[in-house]
Structure 1
Amino acid sequence: MELFNFGGATAILEHRGVRLLMDPWLDDGIFHGSWVHFPPLGAHVEDVGRLDYIYISHIHEDHCSLGTLEKLDRNATVLVMGRKPNFVVDFLVRNKLGFKDIRIIPPRSPVLLRPGLVADMVEPDPSDAMASAIDSALVLRWDGHVIFNANDCQPHPAMIEYVRSTYGRPDLAMLPYSGGSGYPSCYINLTDEEKCAERDRIREMRSGAFIDTVKALDPKRVIPFADQYAIAGSRAALNEYVAHPATPAAMRAPMARAGLADRLLLVNSGQRFDLETGRHSPEAPYRDYSDEERQAWLDGINANHRYDHEKFEFASGVPLERLVRQARGRLWGYQEANHVHPEWMLVLDSPEMAQVFLLPLGSAEVAAMPRENAVEGPFLRIRAPRTLMIMMLLGHVSWNIADAALFLDYERVPNRYDPVVYFLLNLLRV
């Protein structure tokens, strides 16, 4: 069995002529022009070739890119976890991609795809509202090999227990070691020194979670997987503060300290690894990059790189305040139906506007005030260009993706993360 690595969460597992591609993203400029591959790709969509199966874990573009899917083998069967609503299935149907079949696999319901190949899906941590709504993990039992791909799902005790009790010790675990978030890069209430301190704290926390999962899951080999990207364009300077390292090689030192260095697997983009012989092809050491090398590489591509919302402007007659009020009414309906009323204020701020909009999450009120006026906490102030703000309120750009793209500036008082507030923010659209 061979693993052919492209980068990020995209790789091919091939065994006895059967080929399964995971989470296709091979085109740059996703998330409305923000994300590009880093480390740079050493293999491209033209190198994919014939496919039997395509696993799509969830709807985010770095796992399900339309620009990549349009160029893939239509004879492949797409594997998706069963859930309602099913955003991946809706996406595939809406875009009329015409794959041979879409195989929906309910969680914890192993399916025999062909002799010797069993596929199973595992649901994310139910305490993570966003992940629970969209994400999935994959388990394969393939002629005696057990492969576990958690992609963006942070493995939780119930997931680990299910995999171990049902399938035993994985031969290969593909685990998250990082993540994509606007914190601390985009938080203007933090100094540069505080951003660096928070960046380092989060990296340490995530590497610790990676080590804890390796110890609990006990795979023979583990590859730090997914979330390999950089922010290009006018916001590229914020890469200095992002909490994900420049490359998966950042896990070398933590794995060594934990006495697990012999299990760490690093595979260059465009390189194969044979699980049975333990050999790379072509034989070459892993190409590591520093944060400084990442920035230097980005400087070479940023000159003509623009985001979608930088390519045009909405006319002044587009009624931003009306959109805010309509979106607030829709969100309030959800809050009332689900009895969710956190004691936070959302402050919507576009620098081109003379006023900001105040949306207390404890009431249906919408107020406007001069943007220079002080706001009493607790509040989350979100600053975005007017065109982008309109695109988010219309639902053309999700707040979650704008956050991952580092498009938004935040001020958070107090500086305390409340996942409910961010979940509700993603429902703020007309």
Structure 2
Amino acid sequence: MRFRYIANACFEITLSTGEVLLTDPWFDGPCQQTWWNFPPAPEALKAEVWASRPDLIYISHLHHDHLHPQTLAPFARDIPVVIGRMNTPNLKSAIAALGFGTIREIAFETPTPLGGKGAQAVLFKDFHGNTRGDDSQVEYDLDTSLYLTDADGTRLFLAVDNTILPADAERIARQYGSPDIAQVPYASASLFPMAMADYDDEAKLRAMRASRKRTAGNFRDVVLALGARRAIPAGGEYVLGGPAAPLSRFLPQPLERELRAALDEAGRADTLAKLYPGDVLDSATLAVTEDCRAGYRGFDDDLRAAYALTLACRAPSFTELALPADTPFDWPRALKKCAANFAARRGRMGLSLPMDVYLDARDETGARAFLFRLALDSDAGAMVAAVEAGERASLTYALDARLLFCLVTGLLSWNAMEASALLGVRRTPDVYVHDLHRAMVHFTLLS
């Protein structure tokens, strides 16, 4: 098996039979408004991948850093696309909308032939609601992972972005065998600490260091539990551009040296195979062939942050939206409708509102345009004059009114904009309520 890294979670996998599987193609242009590949894929490498014709494309989930229309545009639409059999049609529908005519859904944890020459796939759905292992009341499949057995017996596990913990890895190794090669995520697409509007720089640095220590430790423990011979850290490899570019100095993804140090604590530093764009890992020798075109090898925080600043002039697309001045958008009516839809959806999920939620909408100058509150003891929602002080728990989103328009009309996703650091977040007490953040995708006119 030949395993070539392209960018983020995109790999070009050549099986022993010669069949080629391309995974989660995002290697060109931005996604989620502010995300850019880091390290960036060289233009010549992009051209090579686009000129190829993979036998299969695997899309793990719906997020644009895995299902990226701009990157997918040059590929022939008759290439079969492999996905998990989700409990919603969203992923399948999005792929079909891009024109791909053959979509193969694989039932979870069911060994299934992949291609036509003896390879076999097992797909896994979400392991947990978040990287701390919490359960979620928001019942929809999001992430998937792929365990691939080549015709020659070589085993590959792609965790992708899935919230895998050591206990999950131990079960996979016990049930399916330890993989020869494992791709393991080492940071989630999180708003924390970049979007924390009430943190000063020192507080963000402390939070970043704590997050890196925890995620590097989880990476190590997952790799050890899997028993993988080589482990590739990938997924979540991006910087923030546009107005969020300066926040890239607080990114929570551990550096290569931090991951190696974590594995070294267990005497397994040689397991790490940090790949850069174009690098190839051979399953027979477990050796890495470096692509001389790849830049930023062994990058540190300063190099990563400096690259992000080169993207600071890249304006998010929502800034091109001009809300009408002569016939103003009826914000009170629209947001009350969103609140009613949100309440109905929470009722179906059995999810109560755990705190007050404020939408602090700002105009193009940054001045407050209006403040809307969803009170925890009311489903109606209303415009208010100020954030209520006192003992009540609250979550406040500070955001551009044009961005809020895109969110409530379904043009953009709440979760994606949080991770893009385009929503400033304040919370009292300073506690992350996972289900509330995840459920905000339903605060729309369309929910």
TM over 0.5, shorter chain: yes
Q: Is the 8 A contact 2:59 2:67 kept in 1?
A: yes
Aligned to 2:227: 218
> Which has the larger displacement, 234-243 or 275-284?
275-284
Following TM superposition, by how much is the alpha carbon of 1:343 offset from its aligned partner in structure 2, in angstroms? Answer: 3.0
**Match for residue 365 of structure 1?**
380
Aligned to 1:116: 118
Separation (CA, whole Å) in 2 of partners of 1:23 and 1:283: 21
Among 73, 77, 82, the alignment partner of 1:79 is 82
Matching residue of 1:319: 330
Q: Secondary structure of 1:210's match?
A: helix
Letter in 1 for 2:323: F
Alignment map for 1:184-333 (pairs within 5 Å): 184-245=193-254, 247-282=255-290, 287-303=297-313, 305-316=314-325, 317-333=328-344
1:217–1:31 distance in 2 versus 1, CA, 3 Å: same
In 2: Cα distance, 1:329 partner to 1:131 partner:
20
**8 A contact 2:230–2:286 mirrored in 1:** no
2:133 is matched with: none
Shift of 1:338: 3.1
SS at match of 1:183: coil
TM-score, normalising length from structure 2? 0.90
Q: Which moved more, 1:195-204 or 1:416-425?
A: 416-425
Contact 1:187 1:411 in 2 (8 A): yes
Deviates more, 1:340-349 or 1:55-64: 340-349
Where structure 1 has 5 or more consecutive residues not aligned to the other structure, the ranges are none
Q: Whole-Å Cα distance in 2 between the matches of residues 159 and 106 of structure 1? A: 18
Q: Would the aligned equivalents of 2:357 and 2:395 in 1 still touch at CA under 8 Å?
A: yes
| Letter of the 2:311 counterpart | I
**Range with greater deviation from structure 2 (357-366 or 396-405):** 357-366
| CA deviation after TM superposition for structure 1 residue 195, in Å | 1.1
Once the two structures are overlaid, the 10-residue window that deviates more, 190-199 or 349-358, is 349-358
Shift in CA distance, 360/372, structure 1 to aligned 2, threshold 3 Å: closer
How far residue 265 of structure 1 moved from its aligned partner, in angstroms, is 0.7
Contact 2:25–2:72, Cα closer than 8 Å, also in 1: yes
* Equivalent-residue separation in structure 1 for 2:390 and 2:370 (angstroms): 12
Q: Secondary structure at the match of 1:31?
A: coil
Secondary structure of the structure 2 residue equivalent to 1:93: helix
Per-residue deviation, residues 277-296 of structure 1 (Å, max 9, x unmatched): 23333476981111211222
In structure 2, the residue matched to 1:96 is: 99
Please say which of residues 311-320 and 276-285 is displaced more in the overlay: 276-285
Q: Sort the Cα spacing of 1:126 and 1:201 in 2 relative to 1 into closer, same or farther, 3 A.
A: closer
Q: Deviations over 1:273-314 (max 9, x none)?
A: 2111233334769811112112222333333x1101112321
Quick check: 1:176–1:225 contact (8 Å CA) kept in 2? Answer: yes
3-state SS, counterpart of residue 277 of structure 1: coil
Instruction: Confirm or deny: 8 A CA contact 1:45 1:68 kept in the other structure.
Output: no
Per-residue deviation at 1:40? Answer: 1.7
Deviations 1:81-135 (A, max 9, x none): 001213221111122234xx21110001111122320011012124454695211
Determine the structure 2 residue equivalent to 1:183: 192
How many residues are treated as equivalent by the alignment?
Answer: 425
Counterpart in 2 of 1:150? 159
Amino acid at match of 1:312: L
Deviation at 1:217, TM superposition (A): 1.1
Q: Quick one: distance in 2 between partners of 1:240 and 1:282?
A: 27
How far apart in 2 are the matches of 1:235 and 1:19? 36
Q: Deviations over 1:246-281 (max 9, x none)?
A: x54541221112211111112220121211123333
1:62-73 matches, within 5 Å, as 62-73=65-76
- 1:349, 1:371 within 8 Å by CA — same for their partners in 2? no
Cα distance in structure 2, aligned partners of 1:411 and 1:117? 49
- Which letter maps to 1:370? A
Q: 1:369 to 1:118 in 2, by over 3 A?
A: same
Match of 1:51 among 45, 50, 54: 54
Q: CA deviation at 1:337?
A: 2.8
Question: Separation in 1 of the partners of 2:386 and 2:414?
Answer: 21
Once residues 102 and 45 of structure 1 are traced to their aligned partners in structure 2, the CA distance between those partners, rounded to angstroms, is 24
Q: Which moved more, 1:417-426 or 1:1-10?
A: 417-426
Measure the CA separation in 1 of the matches of 2:209 and 2:9: 23
The percent identity for this pair of structures is 26
Residue 23 of structure 1 deviates from its aligned partner by: 0.7
Report if the CA contact (8 A) 1:105-1:111 is conserved.
yes
SS of the residue corresponding to residue 97 of structure 1 reads coil
